[in-house]
Amino acid sequence: MYIKELNLKNYRNYEDLTIQFENKVNVILGENAQGKTNVMESIFVLAMAKSHRTSNDKELIRWDEEYAKIEGSVEKYNRSTALQLVISKKGKKAKLNHLEQEKLSQYIGAMNVIMFAPEDLNLVKGSPQVRRRFIDMEIGQMSAIYLHDLSRYQKIMQQRNHYLKLLQMRKQTDRTMLDVLTAQLSEAAAKIIYKRLQFISELQKWAQPIHSGISRGLETLVIKYKPSIDVSEDNDLTKMIEAYEQKFAKIREKEIERGATLAGPHRDDLVFYVNDHDVQTYGSQGQQRTTALSLKLAEIDLIHNEIGEYPILLLDDVLSELDDFRQSHLLNTIQGKVQTFVTTTSVEGIDHQTLKEAATFHVKTGKLSDDK
């Protein structure tokens, strides 16, 4: 899979841009604050319909303009697909092959991307929210059903939280509605956690040998899902629903007292162990970075295994954050098989064949040009 052409209109600091890319490594060079990351972000947004940098879509629209438009031509399964995303103050409209999609969940997954930016090195030591977002975005790219279940869960939880608040403030006393919402939430939560446990199992399978290679065989990585209820990947969906219902029955009074849902996928976490030690708590910075890099590289193989195509890899200013050995491991992994975009201020000091054979682009004040 690769993106052949990218068109930007009123996106961040780009007024109008049309650029062709090659199915190999594409290096985007430029000083800071010129627009390198904006190009990278636009490819991510075109794929995921959301930014990795901001939750406020209005920030993506060029100053004083009404809308931003991203278009791309993507080669996947030996077919060319036209993607278009228009972002305005009214919301987002997505088109696949010029046909507007009713739901974004029908659009996401047409192009698969993996973003690796300096903040992703915080995947291990950051907050649980960072790790949940990582899980949701990666599964969501491969499963429209998961996105649908996640959206449904969030809507039910909002309704349930609202009703818990009414009970807390004694504006409601009837608990029948709470029972109905709890049953609905238990089912939605079980579907999400079931898919997450499957994903983590697969991720572990691909990440473990990669981590062993980067650590020169000295370390063993284990990834564990930490749910807010007592379940394992051996449980079927029915048992998971029962486990949630039992948990909610147990904490019902506490939830009414707090006016909030206190268990569910929105409170779960991931734990990474290296040689049986929790990396977040006891790992060195090097171990934390190796773990983050292993996860990102594992995603490449995992997505390829799931959909039969390699995703597009976006390396935003991350090479300078890695030492020579980890840099080499990363570049060896992608060599010749993954269309990759690399942003950097300079490639000096990175002596690798992959970058010597790369297509090079230069960015200056919202203008992008290639070396041809």
User: What is the tens place of the pLDDT at every residue in 88-110?
Assistant: 989 999 999 999 999 998 999 99
Q: How confident is the model at residue 231 (pLDDT cuts 50, 70, 90)?
A: confident
Widest pairwise Cα distance in the chain: 72
pLDDT tens for 281-318 read 999 988 998 999 999 999 999 999 999 999 999 999 88
Closest CA to 240 of 268, 219, 213: 268
Is 286 marked as a binding-site residue? no
Helix ranges, 89-143 (H)? 104-107, 128-142
Give the burial string for 166-179 (b: 16+ CB within 10 Å, else e). bbeeeebeeeeebe
Question: How far, in Å, CA of 35 to CA of 282, rounded?
Answer: 37
The per-residue pLDDT for 347 is 80
The reply to whether 358 sits in an annotated binding site is no
Model confidence at 87: pLDDT above 70: yes
Instruction: Burial-class residue 336 by CB neighbours within 10 Å (0-12, 13-18, 19+).
Output: exposed
Q: How far apart are alpha carbons 278 and 124 in whole angstroms?
A: 10
pLDDT of residue 93: 96
Portion of the chain with pLDDT greater than 70, in percent: 99
Cβ neighbors of 295 (< 8 A, separation 6 or more) are: 123, 134, 203, 207, 223
Mean pLDDT value of segment 215-242: 90
Mean pLDDT, the chain, as a whole number? 92
**From CA 68, how far away is CA 52, in angstroms rounded?**
17
pLDDT, residue 355, reads 82
Residue 161: per-residue pLDDT: 97
Average pLDDT rounded to a whole number, residues 202-211? 95
Read off the amino acid at residue 155: K
On whether 36 is known to bind a ligand per the annotation, the reply is yes
Residue 126 marked in a binding site: no
Residue 37 assigned ligand-binding role = yes
Residue 79 pLDDT: 94
Q: Is the pLDDT of residue 173 over 80?
A: yes
Residues 140, 103 contacting (CB under 8 angstroms): no
What's the average model confidence in pLDDT over 171-199? 94
Q: What is the mean pLDDT of residues 157-178?
A: 94
Out of 155-164, 192-201, 237-246, 343-352, which region has the weakest mean confidence (pLDDT)?
Answer: 343-352
Q: State the pLDDT at residue 136.
A: 95
On the question of pLDDT at 372 being above 70, the answer is no
Q: 34: annotated binding-site residue?
A: yes
Is 259 annotated to bind a ligand? Reply is no
Which phi and psi angles does 342 have, rounded to 5°?
-120, 125
> Is residue 33 annotated as involved in ligand binding?
yes
Residue of 136, 127, 252, 118 whose CA lies nearest to 183: 252
**CA-closest candidate to residue 333, choices 348, 316, 308, 313:** 313
Residue 371, pLDDT above cutoff 80: no
Mean pLDDT on 153-160: 97
The CB density around residue 235, as the number of other CB atoms within 10 Å, is 18
Neighbour tally for 369: CB within 10 Å: 11
